[in-house]
A and B are shown apart, each in its own frame.
Chain A
Amino acid sequence: MGKEIELKTAPADYRFPTTNQTRHCFTRYIEFHRCVAAKGDEGNDCERFAKYYRSLCPSEWVERWNEQRENGTFPGPL
């Protein structure tokens, strides 16, 4: 018997109390990139934001937003 796998999603956030978590996902995505911009991607400071948005956001959205950031057309406040 190996170690049990721990399954976890993003914790409940009082800013996003509704069933629809679209905005929660989007905000975590932005928070991750703001964190990286501020602290760099060496340390593990920003890792938790990445976990949150990855568990909340559909991967197609993340792909699209990554593309938009590369093209400089991402509409969010980074």
Chain B
Amino acid sequence: MIESQRHSYHLVDPSPWPISGSLGALATTVGGVMYMHSFQGGATLLSLGLLFILYTMFVWWRDVLRESTLEGHHTKVVQLGLRYGFILFIVSEVMFFFAFFWAFFHSSLAPTVEIGGIWPPKGIGVLDPWEIPFLNTLILLSSGAAVTWAHHAILAGKEKRAVYALAATVLLALVFTGFQGMEYYQAPFTISDSIYGSTFFLATGFHGFHVIIGTLFLIICGIRQYLGHLTKEHHVGFEAAAWYWHFVDVVWLFLFVSIYWWGGI
């Protein structure tokens, strides 16, 4: 740290990870296009790109962790910036899902004559919303409550209890993903069964993907809580994970009401 620093902003050191992440993204894109068009070496380039991105994520976040937890660069004002940044990220995620809901309502509110002008289209055996989907609603809401329990434990300085609460949150998250996987496996329609299958699996599939990301985020928080990285006053990483988890939860509620329930009548 420069000794003459008279401000509390974090001036980051030069890092190779932005360019390595960019190269990984480039290899993933080109490799992905090559793979989907059956070019030789497409799969190899795609895997290499994804591996590169995963490696970059690991080392970049490792550096952030060192800068914050070990070197103390994340002052109050830096934490504020991180919060703003994460909120903007979630706003962009809201827009991402808004697009899928738009596609769903566009297709279902005025079904075209190609699918007989009815929704769900003839021959689609819809899933009963009051079986697995409703159970999953309860599971996800419970995990939202559990993450709040963890937050209160952290604020109260109850470190062990926070780890237990996070473990409970993650456990519920895993059960949710397990049920979704089971329901996907047993579903009587696929993503290629008309616009119904397309909108259903696009929206619920991307939600499932976000649940998995949120679960990993919470697992990392649990490990860091166990290691004593999170304190009463300073736990931005946990807060971000909790916000993300609530976001995923709210998206599910909209999916449940519009796609599973209304869209299945």
Contact = CB atoms under 8 A, between A and B. Distances in A.
A71 to B, nearest CB: 13
A74 to B, nearest CB: 7
Interface in B110-141: 113-118, 121-123
A75 B116 CA distance: 4
A23 B113 contact: yes
B118 A22 contact: no
Interface residues of A, number: 8
Nearest to B113: A26
Contacts of A77: 116-118, 122
Contact of A23 (B115, B117, B121, B123): B117
Contacts of B116: 74-77
Contacts of B123: 75
Nearest to A26: B113
Nearest to A65: B113
Contacts of A23: 113, 117
A77 B121 CA distance: 10
Contacts of A75: 114-116, 118, 121-123
A75 B111 CA distance: 11
A77 B116 CA distance: 7
Contacts of B118: 75-77
A22 B112 CA distance: 9
Residue from A22, A26, A74, A75 with most neighbouring chain B CB atoms (10 Å): A75
Contacts of A74: 116
Nearest to A61: B113
A72 B121 CA distance: 14
A22 B121 CA distance: 18
Nearest to A29: B113
Interface string A62-78: 00000000000011110
Contacts of B122: 75-77
Interface in B64-117: 113-117
A28 B118 CA distance: 15
Interface in A21-42: 22-23, 26-27
Contacts of B113: 22-23, 26, 76
Count chain A CB atoms within 10 A of each CB in B113, B116, B118, B122 and give the residue with the most: B113
A12 B117 CA distance: 20
Nearest to B114: A75
Interface of A: 22-23, 26-27, 74-77
- A-B pairs, 7 with minimum CB distance: A75-B116, A76-B116, A26-B113, A75-B122, A75-B115, A77-B118, A22-B113
Interface of B: 113-118, 121-123
5 contacts: A23-B117, A74-B116, A75-B116, A75-B122, A77-B117
Given A23-B117, A26-B117, A75-B121, 15 more contacts: A22-B113, A23-B113, A27-B117, A74-B116, A75-B114, A75-B115, A75-B118, A75-B123, A76-B113, A76-B116, A76-B117, A76-B118, A76-B122, A77-B117, A77-B118
